[in-house]
């Protein structure tokens, strides 16, 4: 006779900064769907992940690069200044990369990608790796 033992481990998830109204709305929606809160959250996360995998959400890097490419010629009128691009938009022009970096930390702390470039000075190059070392 075999005996099976099931081990159940419960893990608590703490979500900080979630206001009471939002928490009630999530619970209500889960109840309307006949789901427990944990099941509803798993379902929501699954949908979110599938959207990201499908490529429907443009990455910050892609958005920033697209903005940079679209305004590259216009940037030349700010020669010598430092441009800051983050969150898919130009956040400003500064006297130094250090100032741009400080502005980024203060005004876009959640940005995961940014472009900081000194206009007319920084040279953007793309090199091809040819299965060996390169001399530059």
Same domain, 79 and 48: no
pLDDT < 70: residue spans in the chain: 1-8, 51-58, 122-136
Q: What's the pLDDT score for residue 130?
A: 47
pTM: 0.50
Domain containing 99: what range? 60-118
Residue 57, Cβ neighbours under 10 Å: how many? 11
Instruction: Pick the last residue of a domain from 32, 57, 82.
Output: 57
**Tokens coding 4:** 């099976």
Q: What's the pLDDT score for residue 102?
A: 92
Same domain, 1 and 51: yes
Same domain, 66 and 109: yes
User: Hey, is 112 helix, strand or coil?
Assistant: coil
Q: What's the pLDDT score for residue 127?
A: 43
Let me know if 35 is exposed, middle or buried by CB neighbors in 10 A (0-12, 13-18, 19+).
middle
Q: What's the pLDDT score for residue 41?
A: 84
Alpha helices in the chain (DSSP H): 20-32, 37-53, 60-75, 97-107
């Amino acid at each position: 006779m075999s005996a099976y033992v099931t081990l159940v481990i419960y893990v608590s998830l703490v979500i900080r900064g979630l206001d009471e109204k939002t928490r009630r709305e999530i619970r209500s929606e889960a109840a309307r769907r006949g789901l427990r809160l944990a099941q509803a959250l798993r379902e929501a996360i699954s949908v979110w992940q599938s959207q990201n995998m499908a490529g429907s959400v443009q990455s910050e890097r892609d958005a920033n690069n697209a903005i940079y490419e679209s305004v590259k010629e216009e940037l030349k009128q700010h020669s010598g200044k430092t441009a800051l691009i983050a969150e898919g938009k130009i956040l400003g022009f500064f006297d130094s990369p250090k100032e741009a970096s400080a502005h980024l930390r203060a005004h876009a702390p959640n940005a995961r990608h940014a472009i900081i470039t000194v206009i007319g000075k920084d040279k953007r190059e793309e090199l091809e790796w040819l299965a060996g070392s390169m001399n530059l």
